[in-house]
Structure 1
Amino acid sequence: MVRFKNRWLLIEFIPLTVDGNATYLPSEGLNGKYIWSALKESVLANFGDTGWGAVGTSLTVRVARDHHRIAWGAVTLLKKVQGKTYIPNVIHVSGTIKHAQLAAIAHNREAVAKLRALSNLPAMYQSKYDDYLETSMKEIDELQD
């Protein structure tokens, strides 16, 4: 028996402000339903019905290994989600959810470290980023295949 092989795409959506600058604060109101809808539109616009036929049946938070490049390309070409402009950043592509989770945790730690460095605060300073890091680690660990 052959198992269905997937690819997990870890994607960061960086919101743009009205003046075109990127902001690295968490985005409000962005959820999987809106992202999936925008991604479907991007696949159809850039790869047509053939592209959507290839990835549409397996596209959830993962995609079939054979067609993951179509989903990756559509994410890269995505400009707006629910009328707001974002820069999609594919951080990691993995064959297992565990490796995607580890990459997400490492990315969150790096992002918090960069924000702390920009704020010139002492290393032991407790901030809202500590709460964000702890919450995001719990959410990532709760993901199941």
Structure 2
Amino acid sequence: MVRFKNRWLLVELIPVGTQPQSTAAPTHHLEGKHIWAAVRQSVLANFGDVGWGAVGLSLNVKYYSPTTNICIIRVARDHHRIAWGAVTLLSAIEGVRYIPNVVHVSGTIKHAQLAAIAHNREVIARYRALAKTPAAYQDSYETYLEKSTLEIEALQD
């Protein structure tokens, strides 16, 4: 029996120039299918049909959070650098400019989940710092962290 080996990319999509920094989380109508389509276009534009043929079957956006703008992308291990390069070369998704930041690359979904949960906590801490709220303050971000942690932990390979 042969096992398919994957790489998991944890990507933060930082919006560019859409609004000044505020205490509210950015709201965009971006979904996993939009990210997948943008990565597909980037692979085709930068690596051609051969690049898309290498990563096309295994490329999958497993998770996207519109609150913290992070996503988890699965791709085959042998060609993960093509997908990584395509993500890095992205400039816009659905007409909105983004700066993609690959935060973590892992070989297992478990490590990608742990990195995503830790990164979510960092982003929420940044939002709280911008709002100048104390760390013990009970706000809507606390329920978001609990909900997102459960969603991320529920991901299956």
**Does the Cα contact within 8 Å between 2:25 and 2:127 map onto a contact in 1?**
no
CA contact (8 A) 2:12 2:102 kept: yes
Does the residue aligned with 1:3 lie in a helix, a strand or coil?
A: coil
Structure with the larger helix share: 1
Unmatched tracts of structure 2, length 5 or more: 62-73
- Choose from 93, 96, 102 the match for 1:84: 96
Deviation at 1:114, TM superposition (A): 2.2
What amino acid sits opposite 2:94 in the alignment? Q
| Count of paired positions | 144
TM-score by length of 2: 0.83
CA contact (8 A) 2:8 2:107 kept: yes
1:136 is aligned to: 148
RMSD: 1.9
Give 2:135's match in structure 1, choosing from 123, 126, 134.
123
2:153 maps to a residue whose letter is: D
Q: Measure the CA separation in 2 of the matches of 1:38 and 1:123.
A: 36
Deviation readout 1:10-52 (Å, 9 max, x if unpaired): 1111222347x67782442111111111111000001111111
Task: Say whether residues 1:42 and 2:42 are aligned partners.
Answer: yes
| Contact 2:55 2:82 (C-alpha < 8 Å) held by counterparts | yes
The whole-number CA distance in structure 1 between the counterparts of 2:27 and 2:109 is: 23
Whether the aligned pair in 2 keeps the contact of 1:14 and 1:22 (CA below 8 Å) is no
**Cα distance in 1, alignment partners of residues 132 and 95 from structure 2:** 35
Post-superposition offset of 1:81: 0.9
Preserved contact between residue 7 and residue 93 of structure 1 (Cα < 8 Å): yes
Distance 1:40 1:135, change over 3 A: same
**Deviations 1:60-98, CA, capped at 9 Å, x for gaps:** 131110100000000010111111111111111111111
Deviation at 1:56, TM superposition (A): 0.7
**Alpha-carbon contact 1:6-1:63 (below 8 Å) kept:** yes
